[in-house]
Amino acid sequence: MEFLSEYASFLAKTLTLVVAIVVVLVAIAATRSRGRRGGGQLQVQKLNDFYKDLRERLEHSVLSKDQLKATRKAQAKAAKQEKKAPPSKPRVFVLDFDGDIKASATDNLRHEVTALLSMAKAEDEVVLRLESGGGMVHSYGLASSQLVRIRDAGIPLTVCVDKVAASGGYMMACIGQKILSAPFAILGSIGVVAQLPNVHRLLKKHEIDFEVLTAGEYKRTLTVFGENTEKGREKFQEDLETTHELFKGFVARYRPQLDIDAIATGEVWLGMAAQERLLVDELKTSDQYLAERAVEAELFHVHFAHKKSLQERVGLAASIAADRFVLTWLSRLNQQRFW
């Protein structure tokens, strides 16, 4: 028992020391980063090399020694011939957008678009791999505007949706001259929603007053704590309808083939049904499309990465660990339903 007590004391001291070191490092990083502007850098990867590496690794495992030797010889001959008279291949710039409710990825997208517009030409192509269930109107409006820059520059834009492009996500997707969707991806949700709780009756029950002072008749239409009026509700609904009409007009501008009144109901459709309604042009995953394009074009994955502070890296690591823990247990609980 004495040994266990000493061991527990040793562990507690060690843990305390580790926590103290982390706190000091975070404090130092915070001091150094104070007043500095956040930087970042553009990262570019040639995807043709990635696909080539995948193929060569598979060939090395599957082909016999003689077959592999013959294949390598043929590849070397083709590479030598191409080096003598290199073909003029179009370029495909691949971007990713993983959208949250605030469309936070716009901070990277704006720099990526600025970079590629500095050298992309009309014979090139931009492919956006888009995943988003939508979010704030103004945030996705700004994200969509970044894609409009590509289209206005006369550069073909293809949008690939493997999982979801709904609401603000579809606002972005519709800008593409071509929209590709996986068969069971979710698309649509061309509508506007707003919801908020109201605890006025609870406050009133406990004799708690809450006052809102405004200048302007409609400065505040609905409130969480105050008493909402029918006039305020009508104005709030009117604002939603106005936003919806603007949303419909935006989609119709870039997808004129749509029956906008029929599909702007807030509904969502899976890829196959979405194609029937002309929300997408073709059923195809981004992997299939890019692998096909890699045969005839040079593919470049473009990503602007912001430099993360120590606090952000520590917080991100903790967040990832927590997410993995929760997802693991949710997965186990879900599996038990089918045992």
pLDDT at 295 over 60: yes
Is-catalytic flag, 219? yes
- Cβ-in-10-Å burial (0-12, 13-18, 19+) of 148 comes to middle
- Cβ-in-10-Å burial (0-12, 13-18, 19+) of 243 comes to middle
Residue 161 pairs in a beta bridge with 130, 181
pLDDT at 112 over 60: yes
Please give the pLDDT value at position 32.
58
Would you give the distance in Å from CA 267 to the centre of its chain?
21
The confidence band for 38, taking pLDDT boundaries of 50, 70 and 90, is low
* Cβ atoms < 10 Å from Cβ of 171: 25
The confidence band for 36, taking pLDDT boundaries of 50, 70 and 90, is very low
**Low-confidence winner among 87-96, 130-139, 288-297 (lowest mean pLDDT):** 87-96
The confidence band for 37, taking pLDDT boundaries of 50, 70 and 90, is very low
| Token pair in block for residue 47 | 């995807």
**Low-confidence winner among 20-24, 57-61, 117-121, 258-262 (lowest mean pLDDT):** 20-24
**Beta carbons of 313 and 25 less than 8 angstroms apart:** no
- Tens-digit pLDDT profile for residues 140-188: 999 999 999 999 999 999 999 999 999 999 999 999 999 999 999 999 9
* Cβ atoms < 10 Å from Cβ of 331: 10
**Beta carbons of 162 and 131 less than 8 angstroms apart:** yes
User: What span, in angstroms and rounded, lies between the C-alpha atoms of 35 and 89?
Assistant: 45
Is-catalytic flag, 231? no
The type of residue at 176 is: G
Give the mean model confidence (pLDDT) for residues 43-54: 90
Distance (Å) of CA 173 to CA 92, 136, 164, 254: 18, 16, 10, 10
| Token pair in block for residue 182 | 């996986």
Active-site residue, from 139, 167, 181, 286: 167
| Alpha helices for the chain (secondary structure H) | 2-33, 47-62, 65-84, 106-117, 137-152, 168-173, 200-205, 230-254, 260-263, 271-276, 286-296, 310-336
pLDDT above 90 covers what percent of the chain? 54
Mean pLDDT of the chain: 85
User: What count of Cα atoms within 13 Å lies in the side-chain half-sphere of residue 214?
Assistant: 10
| Token pair in block for residue 2 | 């004495």
Q: Coil, strand or helix: which one is 210?
A: coil
The type of residue at 316 is: L
Every domain of the chain with CATH number 3.90.226.10 lies at: 40-67+90-189+267-306
pLDDT at 102 over 90: yes
Which of residues 312 and 185 earns the better pLDDT score? 185
CATH class of the domain at 40-67+90-189+267-306: alpha beta
Pairing label, strands 91-98, 157-166: unpaired
User: What span, in angstroms and rounded, lies between the C-alpha atoms of 219 and 221?
Assistant: 7
The confidence band for 205, taking pLDDT boundaries of 50, 70 and 90, is confident
Question: In sequence order, what DSSP letters do the residues of 174-193 get, joined into one string?
Answer: TTSSEEEE-TT-EEE--S--
Would you give the distance in Å from CA 166 to the centre of its chain?
12
Active-site residue, from 65, 83, 205, 219: 219
Closest CA to 143 of 113, 187, 179, 181: 113
**Beta carbons of 139 and 102 less than 8 angstroms apart:** yes
